[in-house]
Amino acid sequence: MPGKRASPRAIKLHRTYSVEEAARTLGVHKNSVRGWQRSGLTPIDNARPILFLGRDLRAFLERRSASRKRPCHAGTLYCFRCREPRAPALGMVDWTPINARTGNLKALCGTCETIMHRRARRDALATIMPGLLVQIAEGPSRLKGKPIPSLNCDYGKEAE
């Protein structure tokens, strides 16, 4: 199971990093940094220990993450199986509220029929999904009819 993504903002621009230092700073394995070197991360020179400039390391990680972005335009949701933004099948989308203003959009992918998701505000539904039928569903109900009890209860203190 892969770990978290390496954050380019953890790298200081005016520092040099060895493979071990870069791995420790980014929270990844040393072999990941060596793999980045094979993928195009250039060291200062080919001498040992292998050193990277902080600005080169940060630029490489930002380029790498920017190339993987797939922004969803109006009328599309991101399909995890196709790995592309796709239009919903039959032009139908369900919106389930999380709170009073935001909720989740759900739809079937028109290509592979996988369920796609997208977070959206209720006010922006017309601009995010223009010309599509958006069905607003009720939020999930609690098992009990009561609201969440307060944790600041002094019920036990009254008995003393």
Q: What is the pLDDT along the chain (160 residues), one digit of tens a residue?
A: 356 788 889 999 999 999 999 999 999 999 999 999 999 999 999 889 999 999 999 999 999 888 777 788 888 988 989 888 898 988 889 988 888 889 889 999 988 989 998 888 888 888 888 888 788 877 555 566 666 666 676 666 655 5
Same domain, 53 and 95: no
Residue 127 lies in a domain: yes
Cα separation, 82 vs 103, in Å, equals 23
Residue 158 inside a domain? The answer is: no
Do 30 and 81 lie in one domain? The reply is: no
Domain boundary among 47, 67, 87: 67
Q: Is residue 150 domain-resident?
A: no
If asked whether residues 82 and 110 sit together in one domain, one would say yes
Let me know if residue 160 belongs to a domain.
no
- CA neighbours closer than 13 Å in the CB half-sphere of residue 126: 1
Domain hosting 110: range is: 77-136
Q: Is residue 154 part of a domain?
A: no
Count of CA atoms in the C-beta half-sphere (13 A) of 89: 12
- Whether 24 and 49 share a structural domain: yes
153 within some domain: no
Query: Within a domain: residue 131?
Result: yes
Task: State the Cα–Cα distance between residues 52 and 115, nearest whole angstrom.
Answer: 42
| Rg of the chain taking only CA atoms, in angstroms | 24
Instruction: Say how far apart CA 95 and CA 115 lie, in whole Å.
Output: 13
CATH number assigned to the domain comprising residue 16 = 1.10.10.10
Judge if 125 and 85 occupy the same domain: yes
Domain count, the chain: 2
Nearest to 33 by CA among 21, 44, 45: 21
Centre a 10 Å sphere on the Cβ of residue 7 and count the other Cβ atoms it contains: 13
Q: How far apart are CA 82 and CA 17, in angstroms?
A: 37
Taking CA atoms, 42 is separated from 1, 13, 56, 152, in Å, by: 28, 15, 7, 56
